[in-house]
Amino acid sequence: MILVVDVGNTNITFGVFDGEELKSSFRMMSKTDHTSDEYGIQMLEMMGHNGIDKEQIEGVMIASVVPQVMHALVNAIVKYIGRKPYIVGPGIKTGIKITTDNPREIGPDLIVDAVAAYEIYGGPVLVVDYGTATTYVPINEKGEFFAGVVSPGIRISAKALWEGTAKLPEIEIKKPDSILARETISSMQAGLIYGQIGQSKYIIEEMKRESGLKDMKVVATGGLGRLISELTEEIDIYDPILTLRGLQILYEKNRRNKPQNKEFDDQNQPE
């Protein structure tokens, strides 16, 4: 089995794969400061609760957009699980080619999503990830990651509403019964949900038009991806574990060249 770790701006999501099958997944908040011991103990507790013993873990792959948690998290994995993880970044074999103007600026999360979508669904494919930010990444039939769009996610937009205004309350993010809202809470919900739907429709259509890839499959993922995909004809597939699957694919691509063992591979790791 392997452990994959997706460190996002809001949550750290863990997945345990047995081959290509996701056996379990669990998460913790990523904005809370932890020591390596706290991370390690929590990981072991959550793994145990899901019936996973640390001795079953043969290797670990991490993608992170939150650099400040990495030192403690990597040390926790080494100390408590006994494996030194691969980290998505320079030197990792991906199977796709990044052809944007500044490839090193591309976030690890976008790379992982792109790898998963291309490997699983083929190209051309457009990945829309509804996370803390909403991201749109197209990959052509040659496996080239050639462009991208990043916009505020629904939760960021919602937080801006209730923190940036004097009278608007904090609300549950869900689709209201009608876009013709008749009171404050449902009017905010309508603006957030239907605003995201409208943005998604327009960006998807324009990316297809400008790229000339009008037959591009559209794959959505992320926490609110299910809700938006159900209301958006432009989205073909909703895959809630796309990022975790991408990490599993990347691990398999890289372990063939660098065997994992208890002696810990020191290549491709930060100090």
**Which of the residues are catalytic?**
109
Close Cβ partners of 269 (under 8 Å, ≥ 6 residues apart): 74, 84, 85, 87
CA nearest neighbour of 155 among 70, 227, 208: 227
- Are 6 and 244 in contact by the 8 Å Cβ rule? The answer is yes
End-to-end CA separation in angstroms for the chain: 26
φ, ψ (nearest 5 deg) of residue 169: -85, 165
Residues 7, 259: Cα–Cα separation, whole Å: 24
Residue with tokens 């038009």: 209
